[in-house]
Structures are given as structure tokens and as C-alpha cells.
Amino acid sequence: MIRYIGKRLLLMLPVVIGVIFVVYLIMYLSPGDATTTILGTSWTPEGAEAIREQLGLNEPFFKQFFTYLFHFFQGDLGTSYITKEAVINQVRISFPNTALLVLISMTLAVAVSIPIGIRAAVKPNSFFSAFTTAFALVGIAAPGFWIALLLVLLFSVKLGWLHASGLETWKDAILPSIVLALSFMASISRMMRSSMIEALGMDYVRTARAKGVKKHRVIYRHALGNALLPPLTVIGSYIGEMLGGAVICETVFAIPGMGRLMVNAVLQKDTPSVLASVSIMAICVAIMSLITDLAYAFFDPRIKALYMRGGKSK
């Protein structure tokens, strides 16, 4: 198992390098540069050329890329073209807000969707099951920014219960967390319902019922363990999607997080800030994928045995 974890961590290196390369290439090929934002109304061809020379933007692409890569793996994320501040300082301020938002959203999505999926599976022909299925379809189809605006109009403008922007108190995290969790809540509940229905139809569950095992024990002791495996597989990938969805939430609710930092950096052609934001998100996704695999092995002893055999054979 330890060898497997080590290999997965090493595989993160080409992933991060590939992400940096793609983003750097897109920023390099996209029209315009940061000199327009830096110089503003005082922009002149001579001034712009001097700024490009100072920032190293006149260098060949691969020289710029490998220079950045060399500093990146030394822990230097560069200096923002716009604010002249070390990008690592911007990340220290922004990343905790995004991490908090994603953590609350995923906790909410899992805590609500798993019980809903179980109940809908236990009574698949009930009104509750039909209602939750319809709710899941609406939750998946509805755009996040549209739901965010509706919640702002209701709870901030009409009722005045919650703030429409910022992240100063715990109440400010309620609306963006709901928006971010809603579509994933719908997806997980649908998958949990289908997986639980399948598990309840297995032979070992019918055998347990025939032996007179209590219904509650059959559901939560015998069926739930196997039914959790498919939802657990996708929850790790949903973390990455949540990081992407945080861009919308942080923009709508004006939260100073990684998503908003990245959007502003893209608009201003601030390449170091864009690269730092995307690279850190890619690392988080890779780590969550690893944690998901380990959790999968915890719930399914067959997977754990496979890892152990692979480690011994090598």
C-alpha cells in the first residue's frame, strides 16, 4: 500500500507539469498582454516594450516556460504582473476561503444526498422517491449562476437574512455553499438510489432477510457497504468539479478565493497568478483522487488485497 501511494504521488509530477504547460501555452498564445493593464491610459509602444523586457515576455516560449517551472518546484510561484506582490501571498489569502467553501459544500452534499438516496431506494415506488428523482434532475440541469442569483434575491434582497457578498462570518458561507452543493447533491442522491436498489436485490441480502434479520440491519449492515462504492468513486472527482464551480460562486458572491483570483488574473493577463491558481487546483484534484482510491480500498477489502499483492510482488 505504501509503495502504491508513493507511485501515485510521483505520478502527480507529470500531471502538474502538463497542466502548467497547457495553461502557459494558452496564456502565451492569447491576444494582448499585461502591459495594457499595467500602463493603463499612459500606454505607449516604447513603454510596453520596456515592460515586456523587464518581465521577460520577449524571451522565447520554452525559455519562459522552463524558467517558471524551475522556480515553481523551488516553491517560488512568481510575482504578480499587476500588484507586484508575490503570488504565494495572494494564494495564502485566497486558498483558505476556497477550501472552506468546498469543504462545507461537499459535507453538505454527502450528508444530505446519502440518506435521501437510501430512503428513496428502500421505497422505490413511493412519492418521496419520485419527488427526489425529479429534484435531482432539476438540480443537475439548473445553471449554478441562475440559482445563485435567485437565492440572493430571496434571502438577501427580499428577506434580508444573509449578505449577498463577502465571506466575513459563517453566515456568508451559507448561500455559496448551497449553490455549490446543489448539483452534486442531486447527482450523488441519484447514484446512491440506483446503487442501493441494486444492492438490496443481491442474493446475500435476500438470504439475510430470509434468516429473519431486522430490516434496519439488512439495510445499514449488509447492503450499505457495497452500495456506497459507486458514489464514493465519483465524490473524489466531484471535488475537482467543485473547485471549478467555485469560480462561479466566488464571482457572484464576491468571495476572495482562488476562483475569483484566477478570473481576475485571466482578464488582466497576469500569467503567474493564473498558473499558480490552476496548478494548486490540479494538485488538490490529484490528492483527492488518491484519497478516494484509498477510501475505496477501505470499503472494499478486495481492492485492498489487490494493492497488497501488487506491493509484495514488486
Residue 43 has what pLDDT? 73
More confidently predicted of 243 and 60: 60
280 lies in which domain range? 95-313
The values of phi and psi at residue 86, to 5°, are -60, 130
- Whether 254 is covered by a domain: the verdict is yes
Using pLDDT thresholds of 50, 70 and 90, give the confidence band for residue 313: very low
Cα 154 to chain centroid, rounded: 27
Domain contains 65: no
Q: Is residue 22 part of a domain?
A: no
**Across residues 104-117, what is the average pLDDT?**
86
What is the pLDDT, as a whole number, of residue 176? 86
Q: Is the pLDDT of residue 151 over 80?
A: yes
> Greater confidence, 131 or 306?
131
DSSP 168: S
Interatomic CA distance for residues 241 and 234, integer angstroms: 10
pLDDT above 50 (res 129): yes
What does the pLDDT read at residue 309? 56
pLDDT digits 0-9 by tens, 189-213: 888 888 888 888 888 778 877 887 7
pLDDT above 90 covers a percentage of the chain that reads 0
| pLDDT at 235 (0 to 100) | 76
More confident position, 240 or 182: 182
Identify the pLDDT of residue 152.
85
Q: Is residue 127 part of a domain?
A: yes
Mean pLDDT computed over 8-18: 81
- Residue 60 located in a structural domain: no
Q: What pLDDT shows up at residue 230?
A: 77
Taking a C-beta distance cutoff of 8 angstroms, is the pair 232, 43 a contact? Answer: no
User: Of 146-160, 237-251, 253-267, where does mean pLDDT reach its minimum?
Assistant: 237-251
169: three-class secondary structure by DSSP: coil
Query: How many domains are contained in the chain?
Result: 1
Predicted confidence at residue 299, as pLDDT, reads 63
150 pLDDT above the threshold of 70: yes
* Dist. CA 256–CA 48, nearest whole Å: 30
pLDDT mean over 23-33: 82
- The average confidence (pLDDT) of the chain is 80
The answer to whether residue 122 is domain-embedded is yes
Please report the pLDDT score of residue 306 as a whole number: 58
**In this prediction, what percent of the chain has a pLDDT beyond 70?**
91
User: Is the pLDDT assigned to residue 284 strictly greater than 70?
Assistant: yes
Any domain includes 7: no
pLDDT band with cut points at 50, 70 and 90 for residue 314? very low
Of 32-41, 204-213, 274-283, least confident by mean pLDDT is 32-41
Buried b vs exposed e over 69-99: b needs ≥16 C-beta within 10 Å? beebeeeebbbbbbeeebbeebbeebbebbe
CA distance 70 to 75: 9
**pLDDT for res 172:** 80
The answer to whether the Cα torsion of 266, 268, 272, 273 is positive or negative is negative
Does the residue 164 lie in any domain?
A: yes
pLDDT surpassing 70 at residue 290: yes
> Among residues 186, 159, 190, which one has the least CA distance to residue 174?
159
Instruction: Kindly report the CATH number assigned to the domain that includes residue 137.
Output: 1.10.3720.10
Q: What is the rounded distance in angstroms from the CA atom of residue 145 to the CA atom of residue 104?
A: 18
Question: Please, what's the b/e burial string for 136-161 (b: 16 or more CB within 10 A of its CB; e: otherwise)?
Answer: beebeeeebeebbeebbeebbeeeee
